[in-house]
Structure 1
Amino acid sequence: METTQRERFSYYGYSFGQIMIYMILTSFLQIYMTDIAIPAATVGTILLIARVLDAVYDPFFGIIVNKSKWKTGKYTPWLRISTFLIAGLTILLFAVPASLDLWVKILLAAGLYIIWGMCYTLCDVPYFSLVTVMTGSVTERNTILSRGRLFSLIGTAIIASLFPLAYPKTGWFWGVFIFTVLSFAVMTPLGRVAKERHPVTEEAPSLLALLKAVGRNKYLLVFCLAFMVANITNTILTVNGYFAIYCLGGPEMISITMTVPMLFAAVFCALVPAIIKKVDKFDLYMVATAVGVVSSIVMYLAGYSNFTLYMVLSTIRIVAVTYTSSFMILFVVDCAEYGRYKTGEDSTAVTVSLQTFTAKALGALSAALGMFILGLSGFVDGADAVQPPAVLDTLWILVSILPAAGLIVSFFILLFGYKLRDRDVQIMSKVNQKLLSREAAETMLSRKY
C-alpha cells in the first residue's frame, strides 16, 4: 500500500466523526424542531429550502476546490477549516430556545441550517476527493473507501443506539454537545496527516471545460440519475424517529430499530472489501437493490404488529440499502477516472460535488416529502403530543412501501445504462497515471468505451 496506517486510520476516523454529526442532523433535527413547536409542514419547508440551496452550490464549490492551489495541498486545507465550522454550527442548531416566538424560531433554525449546509460542503467534497490523490491504486482506493464506509456505519450505530437514550435525559443541547465534541476530536487529524501523493500536474482546466467534461461523462450521469430515482422516495431516515416514538412506544425504540440493523449492516460492509476483490461491485449493487425492493414489499404486507418479524425484514432491507447508498462514492470515483481517461481533463472534485449535489438534493426532496405528508395527515407538534390514527397509518407507509418505488425504477436504469466495470477502471487509471499507453489500454479493455 502507498498510504501509511496513520493516514488510513485518520481517514476512517474522519468518516466516523463526520457521519455522527450528519446522522444527528438528518435523523433528529426534525424531531427537535417539532418538539420546540415548529409545525411539521414548516419543518418540511425549512429542510427543503436549506438542502436545495446546499445542493445548488455544491457543484460550484467543487469547481473552486478543483482550481484551488493551496501550498499544503488541494484538499487537506479545506478539511482543516471545515471541521471547526461544522462542529460549532451543529451545537448552535440545537440551542434554539422553545420559548421564542414562532417566526423567530423558524428564521433562526432555517438560517443556521442553511449556513451549516454550506460549511458541511467545505468538508464533504474534499474528503471524498482526497482518496484519489492519496493513492494511485484502484484496489487500495476501494479498500480505503469501503473501510471508511464501515467506520461510518459504526458511527451511525453509535448515534442510533446512544443518542435516543441520551437526549431525553440530558436535553437536546447537551446531548448534541457531547457527541459533537467527540466527532470533532476524531475528524481533526486527517487534514494534518494525509499526504497528497498523486497531485494533478496539468494546468487546471477552465470552468467551461470542467462542466463539459462532467456533461460528457455518460456513466456518471446515468449513475446519478439512478441514485436520484432510488432515493427520492426514501423517507425512512426522516420519519423513522417519529415511527419509533408514536407507533412502537417511545424514543428508546429509535435506538432498537436503528442499532440492530446497523450492526448487521456494519458486519456486511466489513466484508465488502474482500467481496469486491472477487465480485464486481456493480453486480453486488444490483443484488442489494433487488433485495431492498423485495424486503420492503414483504414488510408492508406483514405489518409491524409482529415486532420480531418487522425487525428481521427491516434489518435485511437496511443491510441492502446501506450498500447502495454508502458505497455510491466508489462508483462516482470510478466515473471520475473514466471521465479523465476519455477527456484528458481532471474533474474529480466537480464529479464528486455532483455526487454530493445529488445526495443533498435527494435528501431535501425526500425529507420535505416525508414532513409534508405527515403535516397533511394531521401531525400534532409539541414534545408531548398524541397523534391521531391517520398519522400512525401514514408513518407506516412512509417507512415501509414508499421507499420500494424508487428502487424498482433505479434497478432498470442501471441494468440497461451503466456498463463501467472494475477491471476496466483499473486500466484507465494506469493510463491516467501515465503508466500505460492509451493504445495498449484499448486492446486490454473488455469493451469499447
Structure 2
Amino acid sequence: MGKNSFQTTRLERMSYGGFFLGQNIIYVIQFQFLMYFYTEYVGLSLGHTTTMLLIAKLWDAFNDPIMGAIVDKVNFKKEKYLPWLRFVTYILPLSMFFVFINIDAAYNVKLIYAYITYIIFGMVYTVSDSPLFSLATVMSRHAYERDTLISHGRLAAALAAILSAAFMSIKVKAGWTLTAGVYCVVAFLVMFPMQFHAKERVKYHRSSDITFQKIFRFLFKNKYLLLYYIGYLAISATNTLQTMAVYFANSNLGDETLVTVIMAVVIIPVIIVAPFLPTMIKAFGKKKLTIYSSAAMIILSVIQYFAGYENLAVFLGIAAVRVTFMQIPLLIYGMFTADCIEYGAYINGERTEGIAFSIQTFITKLGGAISATLSLSLLGLFGYVKQAPIQSADTLEGIWIIMSLVPIIGYAIMILIMYVYKLNEKDVALMMEHNQAKLGLKETSE
C-alpha cells in the first residue's frame, strides 16, 4: 500500500470528524457563552465568576495528566481508546445541558450549583479528549493519514464554531436552557456513529506492567512536547477573541445578536483553509507554517486595532483574514502532539499517547482558564458594569483592546518557541519507522 494511501474508510473518517464536531459544539458554546451566561443572565458577579471559572478550570486541567496516565495504563480486551469514547458519547452532552440551567434559588445556591455542574462537566470532557486524539494514531500507521484525520477533526471544530455563531440569535427566542439543549442534542447525534464505525487497526506492543511513575518520567523526558506547549499555552491564555466577542457585540456594537455575524464571518475562512492544511504542511512544514501564520496574525491585529470598528464591513473583512492566520496554529496543534509522541517513543522505547494528548488537553484548559480570568480581570480594570445598558467610553476602548491587541502577546511567544523547537517532518518519519520496527507493530484489516 502506498505511503500516502488511506487505510481507513470514508465512513470512518466522516464518523471520526463527526465526533470531533459534536465534542467541539459542546466545548465552543461553554467557552464562548458561559461567562456571559453567568454574569448577564444568572447574575453572578464578575469577581465570583472569575474565581469560580479559575478554580473549576484549574481543577479540571490538573485532572488531565492523571486521566492520560490512566488511558496509557489501562488496556481493554480488544480496544484501547474506543471504550472511553463510547461512554462520553452519552454523558458529555448531558453534563453540558445541566451547566446552562439557571435555577430559581438564592444567590449563594446559584453559585454552588454553578461550581458543581461546571466541575462535573469539565471532568467528563477530560475523559473524551485524550482518547479521541490518541485514536488517530492507531487508525492507520501512516503519518500523512494521521495528520489528515486530525485535520478533519480540526475542520469539524471550525464547523462547530460556525454552528455556535447562531446561539445568541436562537437564545433570543428560545431562552438559554432550551438553546443549550438543542445544541447538546445535535452534538450527541453527530458523535453517536463513531462508536460503530471507527476501528483501531494498528496494534503496538505495550508493557503490561508499566507504572504511573514511568509514564510521568517518560513525559518529562519529552522535551519537545513540553517546549511546544509552553508556546501553545501562551496562545491559549491570550486568546480573548471568543470570550470577548459577545461582550463586544453587546457593548460596542449595541446588539448582542451581532455576535452571530461576527463569528460566522471570522470562522468561514477557516473552513476554507482547513482542508488544505495537509498540503500546506507538505509544502512548508508545521514549524514554518506556525511561524508565518503567527507573524501575519500579529501584523493584522495591529491593523485591526487602528482601523477600528466604526465601519462594520471593514471590521469584518480584516477580522476574517486575521482569524484565518490566528487559527492555523490552533488547527495543527494535535499534529505537533502526534509528532512528539513519536519522539517520546523513540527516546523512551514505550508509547504513551494518553499522557501526551492529556498534556494537550491540560494546556488547552489551563489556557482557557487564564484567558477567561484575564478577560474578566481586564473588564473590571476598564470599569465594566454587569447588566448595564451602556458602558463608559473607557470601558468600550478597553473591550476593543482586549479583543484586538492582547492576543499578540501569545503569538509572539510562540514564534520565539518555534526557533528552538527542532523536530521536523523528515525526522519524525524516520522515528516512526524505527518505532514501528522496535515496538513490534501489527496492523490488522479488521
TM-score calculated relative to the size of structure 1: 0.93
The separation in 1 between residues aligned to 2:194 and 2:121, in whole angstroms, is 21
Which residue, 185, 191, 209 being the options, matches 2:189?
Answer: 185
Q: Letter of the aligned partner of 1:62 in structure 2?
A: G
Q: Please report the TM-score for the alignment, with normalisation by the length of structure 2.
A: 0.94
Query: Could you say what secondary structure the match of 1:96 adopts?
Result: coil
Opposite residue 418 of structure 1, the aligned amino acid is: Y
Quote the Cα distance in structure 2 between the aligned partners of 1:191 and 1:71.
Answer: 16
- The 1:294/1:223 distance shift into structure 2, 3 A limit, reads same
Which of 339, 347, 353 matches 1:342? 347
Matched, 1:149 2:149: no
Mark the runs of 5 or more structure 2 residues left unpaired by the alignment.
1-5, 441-446
- Taking the aligned partners of 1:278 and 1:399, their CA distance within structure 2 comes to 32
Q: Match for residue 316 of structure 1?
A: 321
Q: Does residue 277 in structure 1 map to residue 282 in structure 2?
A: yes
- 2:373 is matched with which residue? 368
8 Å contact from structure 1 (residues 40, 379) kept in 2: no
Amino acid aligned to 2:52: I
How far apart are the structure 2 equivalents of 1:7 and 1:80?
A: 15
Shift of 1:108: 0.4
1:89 aligns with 2:92: no
Q: Is 1:164 equivalent to 2:172 in the alignment?
A: no
- Rounded to whole Å, the distance in 1 between the matches of 2:381 and 2:116 is 25
Q: Quote the residue 2:29 is aligned against.
A: 24
Q: 2:331 and 2:187 mapped to 1: Cα distance? A: 19
Partner of 1:258: 263
Q: Distance in 2 between matches of 1:303 and 1:86?
A: 39
Q: Which residue of 2 aligns with 1:137?
A: 142
In structure 2, the partner of 1:428 is 431
Q: CA deviation at 1:15?
A: 1.2
Question: What displacement does 1:340 show?
Answer: 0.2
Structure 1 residue 282: Cα displacement: 1.8
1:12-161 pair list within 5 angstroms: 12-34=17-39, 35-97=41-103, 99-160=104-165
Measure, in 1, the Cα distance between the counterparts of 2:48 and 2:396: 20
Q: SS of 2:207's equivalent? A: coil
Q: Report the aligned-residue RMSD.
A: 1.6
Q: CA deviation at 1:260?
A: 0.8
Question: Structure 2: how far apart are the matches of 1:232 and 1:89?
Answer: 25
State whether structure 2 residue 376 is matched by structure 1 residue 378. Answer: no
Q: For residue 279 of structure 1, report the CA deviation from its aligned partner.
A: 2.6
Structure 2: how far apart are the matches of 1:272 and 1:52? Answer: 32
Counterpart of 1:86, as a letter, is: L
Cα deviation, 1:197-244, whole Å, max 9, x if unaligned, reads 113222142212211211111111110111112332222221111101
Structure 2 equivalent of residue 404 of structure 1: 408
Say whether the 8 Å CA contact 1:55–1:357 is kept in structure 2. Answer: yes
User: Structure 1: how far apart are the matches of 2:63 and 2:273?
Assistant: 34
Render the CA deviation track for 1:273-318: whole Å, top value 9, x for unaligned. 2222333122111111111111111112222222222212211221
Deviation string, structure 1 residues 404-448 (Cα, Å, up to 9, x no partner) = 022112211211x111111221121111111899xxxxxxxxxxx
Q: Does structure 2 conserve the Cα–Cα contact (< 8 Å) formed by 1:238 and 1:370?
A: yes
SS in 1 for 2:206: coil
Of 286, 289, 295, the match for 2:294: 289
- Number of equivalent positions: 433
CA contact (8 A) 2:290 2:415 kept: no
Mapped to 2, the partners of 1:436 and 1:187 lie a distance apart of 32
* Paired amino acid for 1:323: I
Question: Is the 1:296–1:401 contact (alpha carbons within 8 Å) kept by the matching residues of 2?
Answer: yes
Counterpart amino acid of residue 366 in structure 2 = A
Report if the CA contact (8 A) 2:287-2:418 is conserved: no
| 2:261 aligned with 1:268 | no
In the alignment, which residue of structure 1 is the partner of 2:238? 233
After TM superposition, give the deviation of residue 179 of structure 1 in Å: 1.2
Distance 1:121 1:309 in 2: 39
Aligned to 1:249: 254
Give, in whole Å, the separation in 1 of the partners of 2:196 and 2:211: 29
Aligned-partner residue type, residue 202 of structure 1: R
Q: In 2, distance between residues paired with 1:222 and 1:281?
A: 15
Structure 1, gaps ≥5 residues long? 438-449
1:359 corresponds to which letter in structure 2?
T
The 8 Å contact of residues 223 and 418 in structure 1, kept in 2 or not, is answered as yes
Deviation at 1:130, TM superposition (A): 0.5
Amino acid at match of 2:397: D
Q: Is the 8 A contact 2:205 2:439 kept in 1?
A: no
| Partner Cα separation in structure 2 for residue 95 and residue 57 of structure 1 | 25
Q: Once the two structures are superposed, what CA deviation does each residue of 1:373-396 show, in whole Å capped at 9, x if it has no partner? A: 2133332223x6432333212111
SS in structure 1 at match of 2:284: coil
| 2:338 matched residue in structure 1 | 333
For structure 1, which segment, 353-362 or 37-46, has the greater mean C-alpha deviation from structure 2 after superposition? Answer: 37-46
Alignment partners' CA distance in 2, 1:433 and 1:303: 53
Task: Look up the SS of the partner of 2:79 in the other structure.
Answer: coil
Are the equivalent residues in 2 in contact too, given 1:133–1:199 (CA < 8 A)?
Answer: yes
Q: Is the 8 Å Cα contact of residues 231 and 407 (structure 1) preserved in structure 2?
A: no
**In structure 2, how many angstroms separate the alpha carbons of the residues matched to 1:360 and 1:105?**
23
CA distance in 1, matches of 2:177, 2:410: 36
Q: Shift in Å at residue 58 of structure 1?
A: 0.2
- Give the 3 Å change call, closer, same or farther, for CA 300–6 of structure 1 in structure 2: same
Cα offset, 1:170, TM superposition = 0.3
> Secondary structure of 1:433's match?
helix
Q: Distance in 2 between matches of 1:323 and 1:436?
A: 33
Distance in 1, matches of 2:144 and 2:244, equals 37
Is 2:12–2:198's contact at 8 Å kept on the other side of the alignment? yes
C-alpha distance in 2, partners of 1:233/1:148? 23
